[in-house]
Amino acid sequence: MRSAARLAEVITAFVCAVIGGVALTTPISLSWARGAATLEMELLATSLPRAVAVGCLVAVVVTVFTSTTESLLVPWVATLSGMALLLANHLLGRRFSEMIPLTTLNFIDSLAGGLVLGGAAAAVAVRLPMTLAFILGALTSVIAGGLTISPVDDAGGEKFAPIAWWIIDSPSLWLIWPGALLVLWCARRFRSARRYLTIRVELPMRPILAAAIAVSVPVVMSEWLVTSGYDTPDLVLVSVLVVVKAFVVGWLLPGRDGVLIQLCSATSAIGGAIVLIPLAEWLVPLLIAAVALGLWCGMARPSPVAAMAGLLALSIFVAAAAGPHTPVPGAAIVGTLVLSLLTGYSFGAALPGQSSSVMLSIAVLFVPGVVIAMRGRIFTTDPGVVMDNSVPGLAAVLITVGAACGLLLLRRRPLADVDPVTFPAPAAAGGAGGDEA
């Protein structure tokens, strides 16, 4: 009975992360947009990075404040509230999508996703397996958000593959309903669990300030690059600003929690530099398995320096493979698989002690980075003009080198203290405490 309950907790953590991440990082259900004006679709695409940034900020704020409460019921209630908002938005969105702007519905989806992620990040901190499942689910949502499907001909009509609901109806109601029920079960299970908390004389504002810097700088710089273009001085300036941003954010976090921020900043830059390709259905399970394998290796043999060395080598490979005329065949697939492995290893090797730091590190991967903006600028340029596709790769190399320097500086800081968690006695709980004591 105890093993089944623990397994259900792990599944709940994974499902919450997938639902929250997909809701935050992808547009509202594309089936609602049928018949929408072109201008409205353009506004939806333009506002998506800002919606993601707002949702990430909400996620970190919710994680910070629900982590400061003594009761473990509070973060689960916050997660359940996000699920309820997602359900309401997806149940009513189809009816009112003609009256309510798609951008508004998308912002509601991102806010709900941030609420789910933030509450779950604080709730799963009670056990390491739940935390790892949450991280795996969040990274899975990043992979699922990059999935691209095409209709295939079926007796003269269009038929989509079963996995198409990731894009056409994202997240799907058939995933939200079970997720909400699992969260409700966990809220009841942990209703009497408590944290040992010392008296706090001030609000934990430093993680919130770090989150504001982490999500605002990439969005502002990305919009500037897309609208204004770039040359060599702009490339250097943007790369330096990203490195400084990552170090400041890492320094604001307690202890060595900022080490993972440096790794995620490099990961985000490299991910944007890899040639954008539609993720085939057969590739998605391999990427998820690579992340899971990386998590396991990182927990078994943790070495943040080794993770950064691998990312630096990968950034050099990406920059060398993407030439101006003849990119290396298969470089995108190989690079994406290696990046997934290194991302999982980074989280396992440099797992922060605070749940807010875990959530902020994941948010760094969610927010569109400046390297993605550079590649978007290349794609929207006149195709008759030959441009060097290695430019994003060079930017990724510069950012990774700067992040490596920040990692070496932050590793000198002492470890942060983590508030322990206690569970009630069996006689007092009857639920969560019964098999925890």
C-alpha–C-alpha distance, residues 269 and 182, integer Å: 35
pLDDT for position 401: 94
pLDDT for position 36: 52
- Which helix or strand (DSSP H or E) is residue 243 part of? helix 232-252
CB–CB of 94/30 below 8 Å?
Answer: no
pLDDT for position 273: 81
- Write 377-380 long-range contacts (CB < 8 A, 24+): 377/225, 377/226, 377/229, 377/230, 380/226
C-alpha–C-alpha distance, residues 395 and 270, integer Å: 9
Low-confidence residues in the chain, pLDDT < 50: 148-160, 198-199, 201, 326, 378-387, 424-437
Strand partners, 159: 152
Tokens read off for 193: 């669990």
